[in-house]
Amino acid sequence: GSVATLVADVSDIDWNLEQVTVDLTPIGGGIVVMNDRGLDGDAAIGDDKYTTRIVVPGLTVGNVSLSVSAIDSFDVTTIFSKEISVVNQAPRLTSVEILPNQGPRGAIMAVNVAAYDGHGVASVDLDLRDYGGEVVSMNYTGQVWTAMMVIPDGMSPGTQSLKVITIDELGKVGVTSTWLNGVRDLESQYGPHFIPDDEKIPIEIFVENSAPEINSPGLVKYTRPDSATTEIFELEITDQDGISNARVNLGVFLPIDQQNPWVQMNDNGINGDRVPNDGIFTVQLSLRTSTPIGTHEILVQAIDNFDVATAVMPISVTVEEESGIIPSLDSEQLSVSVLVGILIAFTLVAGVAVFVLMRRGKDKDYVNDRFGFE
């Protein structure tokens, strides 16, 4: 269905050339008169280059021989042949539907594709390899090609283009990111297999950004010191797009000389951070002798490289008194093993006391005299 220009270089020393024709029947046409008058693709008038436009309306592909005839005013005819190459066209997409067409990474989308090829469509695949994904094979249902697609983690937020690989029954491979919003016309001058390509619709989806993920550290406890000290607080924060900023409101753990309660957390290997760029963000907490005993909240927030922020996340931090040598019976830290040890110790002491008293009693003279008269 595509249009090409055929040029024949014809010269006549007698300057009486009457007509030049080409036989296009091998490609589905007829006998066509060529011209040297600047029409139908002719570049210059009277330059002995005879031209015409040709169209392959059928399904012919490969090398095809065309015959050109030149006739002068004395009806002397010269015929010569030349091969042209008719290139097979890959299948074209005539409709693409993606439901839903937007979502975060990891979301599942249903993709429906309609494709046409005069030789038949052998396969249609989605190519997600540019985004770290795979080639997703589509299944033919009798009308459309369908597949379920998972948005790869490598896709950045925003509008992203999808590639579709098509193969016809002759093995012609095509790769496209658009579909043609045109309708085939069986009576078209370009043939029944021609699809207008005036309107090309991009195949796109919108990838929604997700806020960073703050992994809860669980139970956090510190012991109130005898003198002011600094503790390292670590928190894992992850995001596929990277973290641009992480901050924490330290509350009662804010250093005395600092006015702003929000402190920058860092993952750069300094200020207590052990390993740079490992996703573990660190901040220094100030513990003083005046820090209240009990559970306190610190607030954490993170922003990714696309400026999407998390909600402010509270984290509980407990400050305890330093434990004594012998824990009280009311202490939560009193373990079962300590209780067992105390009971065993009391039992041993009691046993030794009874044994000593019995030995001492046997040494008395009145051991057999119940009333002391004997």
Question: 115: domain CATH number?
Answer: 2.60.40.10
Q: Domain holding 304: CATH number?
A: 2.60.40.2550
Same domain, 150 and 221: no
Same domain, 100 and 51: no
Same domain, 166 and 225: no
Same domain, 96 and 203: yes
Same domain, 97 and 144: yes
Q: 193 lies in a domain?
A: yes
Residues 6+ positions from 96 with CB-CB distance below 8 Å: 111, 112, 113, 114, 164, 179, 201, 203
Residues 6+ positions from 134 with CB-CB distance below 8 Å: 128
Listed range (57-61, 119-123, 155-159, 166-170) with the worst mean pLDDT = 57-61
Same domain, 98 and 69: no
Q: 67 lies in a domain?
A: yes
pLDDT digits (tens, 9 = 90+) for 271-305: 889 999 999 999 999 999 999 999 999 999 999 99
Q: Tell me the pTM.
A: 0.71
Q: 164 lies in a domain?
A: yes
Same domain, 287 and 248: yes
Listed range (39-53, 330-344, 357-371) with the worst mean pLDDT = 357-371
Same domain, 294 and 234: yes
Same domain, 196 and 117: yes
Among the candidates 208, 226, 259, a domain finishes at: 208
pLDDT for 326 beyond 80: no
pLDDT digits (tens, 9 = 90+) for 173-217: 999 999 999 888 887 778 888 888 889 999 999 999 999 999 999
pLDDT digits (tens, 9 = 90+) for 157-167: 999 999 999 99
Among the candidates 39, 62, 86, a domain finishes at: 86
Same domain, 191 and 219: no
Half-sphere exposure of residue 118, counting CA atoms within 13 Å on the CB side? 16
Same domain, 76 and 50: yes
Neighbours of 251 (CB within 10 A): 14
Task: Give me 261's structure tokens.
Answer: 């309660």
Same domain, 196 and 240: no
Rounded distance, CA 240 to CA 271, Å? 25
Question: For residue 274, what are the β-bridge partners?
Answer: none
Domain that includes residue 235, residue range: 213-320
- Do you find a cis peptide bond into 100, omega within 30 degrees of 0? yes
Q: 348 lies in a domain?
A: no
The total of structural domains in the chain comes to 3
Task: Give me 256's structure tokens.
Answer: 């005395």
